[in-house]
Amino acid sequence: MNYKNRIENFKRILKEKKIDFFLLEDSISILYLTGFKISFGKIIISQDKDILFTDNRYFEGLKDISPIEVNLFSKENVFEFFKKNSKEKNILAIDKTKFTIDNFENLKKFINELKQDIQIDITSNINPIYELRAVKDTEEINLMKKAASITWDGFKHICSILKENITEKEVALEFEIFIRQKGAEKLSFDPIVAFAENSAIPHHRVSDRKLKLNENVLLDLGVVYENYCSDFTRVIFFGDPNFQIENMYNLTKKAQEKAISLCRPGISIKEIDLAAREVFKEHGMEKLFIHNLGHGVGLDIHEFPSMSSVGADRDFILKKGMVITIEPGLYIPNLGGVRYEDIIYITDDEPENFYSSI
Ligand code: GLY
Ligand code: MN
């Protein structure tokens, strides 16, 4: 990965927004900009100088391989950094979605003690790093495709071991063992394995519920491969399908196809979400679609943008290179639910479904 490039791209946005310093402390931003997986770090990016502050657990291991300067985190060292690099007036931006009130109070106190003209900017709508992360390069796409392919193989494996009386927990464990043997680092979230009525809960927690003949099985699965996440949902029928669930399944698939067909650069998220909902509406089932249409995916399982016509990202316009999930679903309490989820890569041409090319 070209971390220096990522940092330069981030700086370009800061320049446009007239931000002097951007402070990032969340582990995924640190991973994105440096490739380091650390549990404590603070990165400050500015036009002139970038620095990563971390603690003694990581300092020695990182200082010679880092794409930016690394220093030990201490009040004195951070003071010194700002004293050397501040101008007369400065704007320091933070990611307001990642700051606790406690951290924010500490930062304000720190800046007061620093006695420099530094104004904290918490007004920016979204952290520009989310928009950068949303657009993937070829190297990232290849890793995501590999994550998708392991997930697909894991799904096939699970389908082959389903039998009467197997429990949801046993199926989830089988998936985890399989994907780790195939080279995945870990699960990207706890697998959702839901039999029959349990599938009416979109994020059901696996239980000791045993599978019976003629029940539907909802499988929502994902893995992490070299830091990149996959996400995938299917409903399968163990035996003969229930008529109502089968109907919901066909309609969900239709809504998903409609949404995917619109996934091109230039379309707004709102338009895609509404188009999927319209398919359900034509059959009077729109109230049974009770969650977002999808989400960005990459280093995080859920990342910018959120695919919803009412959420904060609704007016965001899709760009070439983005990778999103499209996952409509229908749920009837005590009966069951369906969801159909694929990962879609936005290109200038037809959208590419990571699972249909496997
Ligand atoms: N596959 C889990 C989720 O998207 O929330
Ligand atoms: Mn998902």
DSSP notation for 167-209: BHHHHHHHHHHHHHHTT--EESS--EEEEGGGGGSTTPPP-SP
Task: State the CB neighbour count (10 A cutoff) for residue 172.
Answer: 20
Confidence of residue 184 (pLDDT cuts 50, 70, 90): very high
Helix H or strand E segment including 330: strand 329-332
Q: State which ligand 1 atom lies nearest to the alpha carbon of 327.
A: 4
- Sign of the four-CA dihedral 103, 108, 109, 111: positive
- CA atoms of 210 and 340, how far apart (whole Å): 23
Pocket of ligand 1, candidates 203, 206, 300: which has the most ligand atoms within 8 Å of its Cβ, to mutate? Answer: 203
* pLDDT for position 113: 87
Structure tokens belonging to residue 279: 């398919």
281 Cα to the center of ligand 2, angstroms: 22
Structure tokens belonging to residue 336: 């069951």
The residue written with tokens 């200082």 in the block is 63
Which of 325, 296, 279, 294 minimizes the C-alpha distance to 129?
A: 296
pLDDT tops 90 at residue 97: no
93 Cα to the center of ligand 1, angstroms: 30
Structure tokens belonging to residue 298: 């990459």
Pocket of ligand 1, candidates 155, 175, 223, 233: which has the most ligand atoms within 8 Å of its Cβ, to mutate? Answer: 233
24 Cα to the center of ligand 2, angstroms: 26
Task: State the CB neighbour count (10 A cutoff) for residue 334.
Answer: 7
Q: Which ligand is nearest to the CA of 221?
A: 1
Confidence of residue 99 (pLDDT cuts 50, 70, 90): confident
Pocket of ligand 1, candidates 188, 220, 291, 304: which has the most ligand atoms within 8 Å of its Cβ, to mutate? Answer: 220
Alpha helices (H) along the chain: 3-16, 27-34, 59-62, 75-85, 101-114, 128-134, 138-161, 168-181, 243-261, 269-281
* pLDDT for position 358: 61
What type of residue is 222?
Answer: G
335 Cα to the center of ligand 1, angstroms: 21
- Per-residue pLDDT tens for 12-46? 999 998 999 999 999 999 999 999 999 999 999 99
* pLDDT for position 98: 87
pLDDT tops 90 at residue 309: yes
Of the chain, the percentage scoring pLDDT greater than 90 comes to 85
Let me know: does 293 contact 314? Beta carbons within 8 Å: no
Residue ranges lining ligand 1, Cβ < 6 Å? 189, 220, 222, 231
51 Cα to the center of ligand 1, angstroms: 34
- Per-residue pLDDT tens for 113-134? 887 777 787 766 678 899 999 9
- Per-residue pLDDT tens for 229-245? 999 999 999 999 999 99
- CA atoms of 125 and 316, how far apart (whole Å): 12
Give the orientation angle of helix 3-16 with respect to helix 27-34, to 10 degrees. Answer: 110
pLDDT tops 90 at residue 135: yes
- CA atoms of 213 and 140, how far apart (whole Å): 41
- CA atoms of 187 and 180, how far apart (whole Å): 8
* pLDDT for position 355: 96
* pLDDT for position 89: 87
What type of residue is 186?
Answer: K
Give the orientation angle of helix 269-281 with respect to helix 243-261, to 10 degrees. Answer: 150
- Choice among 83-97, 180-194, 196-210 with the minimum mean pLDDT: 83-97
Q: State which ligand 1 atom lies nearest to the alpha carbon of 341.
A: 1
289 Cα to the center of ligand 2, angstroms: 14
Taking residues 187-204, report their average pLDDT. 98
pLDDT tops 80 at residue 194: yes
Let me know: does 314 contact 325? Beta carbons within 8 Å: no
* pLDDT for position 205: 98
All residues at 6 or more sequence positions from 98 whose CB lies less than 8 Å from its CB, including other chains: 25, 26, 127
- Per-residue pLDDT tens for 279-304? 999 999 999 999 999 999 999 999 99
Which of 224, 244, 227, 223 minimizes the C-alpha distance to 235?
A: 244
Pick the residue with more confidence: 114 or 9? 9
Structure tokens belonging to residue 27: 């582990």
